[in-house]
Chain A
Amino acid sequence: MLTGRPASSNDTDLADSRLTAIVIAAVAAASAGLVLSPGLPEDLGRPGGPLLQSAAIIGSMLLVASFVAVLLKKIGHPGKAGFRAHVWLASVGAVLVIVHSTGSVAKIPSLLLLSLAGLVALGVWSRLAGSKRMARTFGSKLAGFSKPDEATRARLAELITHKKSLLSTIDSNALEAVFSLKPRHWITAPGTALTYHRAVMEEHRLIGTRASVSLAQAYWRPLHRLLAWGFVAGLLIHVITVTVFAGYVADGRAVYWWRIAEWGS
């Protein structure tokens, strides 16, 4: 195992050993919670009971905060601190949410647990194994030193011209050579931003960007992001459903948890 000792960085990295310890601790805590929760009094041991519902609320807030911590890098906040926060918040949040679930996997909300497991697995893989693959990528691609395909080059030239023309709408001061879309572009000029994004995707396809590395290395991050957005969306749906459509969720049983409305009964 490598020790995390970047010579030129002034910020503290979350070392692999620390990450491993956090994940192991989280798994242990979640397991302990699942084992112990059946022993609680019935009122407290149910997912919607005051104890476990509180755990769910706090856990969900921590997971959303973890999500936001990563997004902060898009708006100028230091990446490494954000990443450390992301790991800590997600770990604690996940434990609380898992304990809240009481291990029930037969119902639709268990999809959230599944995506949470996927998120953790992908994240841990990227740090412990994916990072080594990334290191080994150096010198493994020779496409840049291959005989150029003139048709590809011509199409790339067209795309560059096209992107430059789009930039006059998106960000007139920007240089295509160093430009990438930011959240504000999607807000201020969503249509043009989408067109620009599609040009970028075609450029990547022509260059063979993701095809130049292994599937896992190429797609772990898109998949991680997809799962994260899906998880947040699912979490939102679950919260709204159990608090507003409590009657629908209860499906004829007693609504014992805190809610706003019991629509759907």
Chain B
Amino acid sequence: MTRLALMIDLERCTGCKSCEVACKAEHALGPGERRNRVVWLGGTASEENQGRPPLDFLALACQHCERPACLRACPVEPKAITKDPQTGIVQVNEDLCVGCGECVTACPYGAMGYDAGGHHAVKCDLCVERRADGEPTTACASVCPTNAISFGERDALDRQAMAQDRRRIDNDPFLLGPATIYLDRTDPLRPALDARERTVPAVIDPGHAMAGDTTAYPYGVKRADRLADRIEPGGCNICFNSCTTKFHFHKGRLVKVTGNEEDPVLQGRVCPKSQLSLQLYSSTERLTQPLKRVGARGENAFEPISWDQALDEIGAKMAAIRAEHGPEALGLFSGTRTGTLTNRGYIRMFAKLWGTPNFVTTEPFCSSGKNLAYSMIQGYSGPGNTYTEGDMGSAALHVYWGDNQAETRPVHFGMINDWRLERGARMIAIDPRQTVTASKADWHLAIRPGGDMALGLAVAHHILSQDLHDQEFCDTWVLGWERWRDFIVEKGYTPDWAAPIADIAADDIRRLAEEIAAADGCILYGSRGINQHMNSTQSNRVLMFIAAVTGNWGRAGGAYFNMSASLPIDLNIPEERCAKISRPKLRTSPVGWTEAMLQDRPYPLRAVIANNNPMALWPDQTETRKAFAALDLLVHVDIFPNETSAWADYVLPAATGIEKGEVGRACEDRRIVWIDRMIDPPGQAKPDGWIWIELGKRFGFEDVLREEWKDSARFWDEALISNIQLRGVTQKRLHSTPYRWVRFPVETEQAPEIQTLYLEGTSAHGAPAGHRFPTTSGKLEFWTEALEAKFEPYGLSALPEFYGERESLVDMAYVELLDDDAVEGVIGPFASGGLAPRGRIVQPDETHPAANLRAQGYTLELLTGRPAAPHFHSWTHYAWQAQEMWPDLYAQIHPDTAAELGLADGARVTVETSHGSVEALAWIYPGIRRHAVFVPIGWGERQPFNPWRPVNFLTDKSQRDPISEQTNLKSLLCRVTPV
């Protein structure tokens, strides 16, 4: 007998639920119908857990018991449930099953599923049919981003567990002889898992009813009709992980999206979002024809029109606005949904031909601060390291500082976590919440929101004052480091100074600094937790400084790693065809456009073409919606209807991913993943490139926005890769591998890819010989006279003077913007040279705005951010399975706060700031700071399954970094009340 089994590693599992998506796709399961599920297990903090509340993820499927309780409970003869004597696999025969549910009751693991639509039991059979079709492993194991699931002969798995000396969970309290092996967490001090002591959050998998007609393909389709007759390699275009995928087709229909096991880096790992794109491509909610508004704005009343009529009318209205207000009166906004080729290519071309400087993306909400900081210091925006074993895998210390990578880029985290465990590297997480990333860390520092810059300065102070820095690297490769050192010491940014601001003990700050300095390779991961603050640029610079002075720059296994790597695209437009722009760009952040839309100040902005969903994305939705209501023309280009389309004059249906040909999002480690056009868009939907080229024809742009560039592959080769770093990333080279990616910079098709940039002894790509970094000096530049001069117009200095947030539970120094968005301010030397507000650092006193808000009862710290792995902005809210897993907007609240408010887990609450309010369901979670509340992004009022008001009703458009215009989305004062 060769008993087969799964082995689940709780140290690796991050609860991303990729396995659930794979299972449902493999077996065409519908809503509520499960063969597996990842159960999130919370719990209360205890001494046994060193004061940290436990958070574990139990990947649950049939245990394939030696004495299966389900089989013995089955009343049918012959049994509808059988056990294979050779493999030990327990299977259900759905034809014999009468749906009585006795097996569901009998299984003490809760691992027997049930199809409430078809009235029969369903269960894991270790993918018998899939393996019979030649696949070597189960669907769940094949996709797991973290290698938490292994499938094989039980004896071999057993030996593997023993070889790793791993503690197992005793999952046989009832002598049923389960085959599944569970490896417990590795911390020997943690008590063994006892699920009875744990809690399951009410907001995850609550079992909401879901209408059958909204559950799109492949629910209920026979296996024979889902078997692929063609498989194409490509990639996911949703997030920065840029997962390589395979698209499976049956008679021309997309039937499955899986990872690409031929990819030497990702090796088939893929997150739930990539797989859920199948449901997006098949969704019945898609926009399929151009629409013209017939009712009032927001009424959502439209009539279908032809593309010609839509583009002719839009063109005529744009021309009229240009004639009356000038070309700058057109604003163009795009983002994730729009796609890289359009963001970086088609729209930028159109904007240059048209003559508007007012084209922005979502960057000021996500990453503009870090992009600017990288450019200032390194001369190029993005880290130079890669997710390879020899580079990031070789680090001795991983510090996640405001980066919840496990939930936001689960595949990359899975790789890091794997290498960490194999190498014995340490992991530290600095985050106001015990995120999934923090739950895996050896040490979690629950920092106060807005305290990162203070903590960073104190870490730097301790390293420098204790001579823990890398003197040789500093002297050789860092310009202006002594000036920074002297400034930090002079200002007294000590651990004792930072402790009350960051709410972290001074001794812990010292220990953190010493660990970073001592590690033979430390990667500081920063992300939105660092970026989304009013001190975004300076906080990023401080963390970059820490990495640099400890020699963690330009080496394998050492870095400041704040994703992602910007694509260096130079547009191929003849200079003489660029229209003259006579007015500077309005604010770099589109939320700074609202006065131009409402009051025509500093100059009018009368038309906006929105290529994603500003009515959920833009901070301060109250003001945003007033501004959009005042426009003369709002055109919305999207794949799904949402709040923005409800307010638009015209709605244009767009294509996505394999419907149009695309590259993945700007990947973290410089991989450019190409996605071929493989299917037609639904109905009359068109690729974004097609739309911009056709619109351009209305204005005579066809000599530049050429007809043949509707072919995205041609557009890539002919228009986008003239930069020396991209010249080798041709279609030919992209198609030369079975995984369709090339890592830039590569100057020619033959040039080898570079694992780690800026290594000692190398010159930066395109820089003069000896210039290790692509700055003017060839060194990392922390302070130069030129840089200081650039800061001066803002009223700030290139030296890192501390300021935090305006809204906090402690009164921090904050930056006051001296120019509101109705006035011009100054022409900023950074951020595309647009109009920018001047700033002034205000030291805390009794008139601090935070004190005023606290007096009004706003006594909780609100932070916003990404929800769990299956969601990404609004995309996945149209995928029924993502909605089944995480349907409702939630507010994570500490149990003590909840007790004060009399809240139960799952209760409906109102979260209110001085800027607005939303309702959400309470998720009572001891892993969040005592006075913090976390509300995730992505929900909207017009989403088809579980509509909720977007979190940006709580945020404030005026709290922006004056340098990068990054909005503070991480530290606002709020209050919570039960509904």
Residues of A within 8 A of B (CB): 1-11, 13-16, 73-76, 78-80, 82-83, 126-127, 130-132, 134-149, 152-153, 156-157, 160, 176-180, 182, 200, 204, 206-210, 212-213, 217-218, 221
Contact = CB atoms under 8 A, between A and B. Distances in A.
Given A1-B212, A143-B196, A138 B98 contact: no
A206 B29 CA distance: 33
A6 B94 contact: yes
Given A1-B211, A139-B205, A141-B108, 11 more contacts: A2-B31, A3-B212, A7-B222, A74-B76, A135-B114, A136-B32, A139-B37, A142-B58, A145-B169, A178-B67, A213-B104
Q: Name the residue among A1, A178, A204 with the largest chain B CB count within 10 angstroms.
A: A178
B749 interface: no
B101 A79 contact: no
Interface of B: 27-34, 37, 39, 41, 58, 60, 63, 66-69, 71-78, 80, 83, 94-102, 104-120, 169-178, 182, 192-196, 198, 200, 205, 207, 209-213, 218-223
A135 B116 contact: yes
A109 B33 CA distance: 43
Contacts of B69: 207, 209
A134 to B, nearest CB: 4
B39 A14 contact: no
Contacts of A4: 117-119
Contacts of A147: 170, 173, 192, 194, 196
A75 B115 contact: no
Q: Name the residue among A9, A180, A213 with the largest chain B CB count within 10 angstroms.
A: A9
A209 B30 CA distance: 27
A206 B69 CA distance: 13
A143 B71 contact: no
B108 A144 contact: yes
Contacts of A141: 107-110
Contacts of B104: 134, 137-138, 213, 217
Contact of B73 (A7, A135, A137, A180): A180
A7 B27 contact: yes
A7 B98 contact: no
A211 to B, nearest CB: 10
Nearest to B125: A8
A210 to B, nearest CB: 6
Contacts of A126: 100-101
A144 B109 contact: yes
Nearest to A144: B109
Contact of B27 (A8, A136, A179): A8
Contacts of B178: 144
25 contacts: A2-B117, A5-B117, A7-B28, A14-B119, A15-B117, A74-B76, A76-B78, A135-B33, A135-B114, A135-B207, A137-B105, A137-B110, A138-B60, A139-B111, A142-B39, A143-B174, A144-B171, A144-B172, A144-B178, A145-B58, A145-B109, A153-B175, A212-B105, A217-B104, A218-B105
A9 B95 contact: yes
Nearest to A83: B98
Given A2-B117, A9-B118, A139-B39, A146 B195 contact: yes
A78 B95 CA distance: 8
Given A139-B37, A153-B173, A156-B174, A134 B101 contact: yes
Given A80-B95, A148-B172, A9 B120 contact: yes
A209 B96 contact: no
Contacts of B209: 1, 132
Contacts of B177: 177
A8 B92 CA distance: 11
A142 B196 contact: yes
A84 B110 CA distance: 28
Q: Name the residue among A8, A146, A206 with the largest chain B CB count within 10 angstroms.
A: A8
Given A135-B34, A144-B171, A144-B174, A3 B117 contact: yes
A82 to B, nearest CB: 7
A145 to B, nearest CB: 4
Nearest to A157: B175
A79 B72 contact: no
Contacts of A210: 105
Top 4 A-B residue pairs of the complex, sorted by shortest distance between their CB atoms: A5-B220, A6-B118, A2-B117, A141-B110
A11 B95 CA distance: 6
Contacts of B223: 7-8
Contacts of A2: 30-32, 116-117, 210, 212
A101 to B, nearest CB: 30
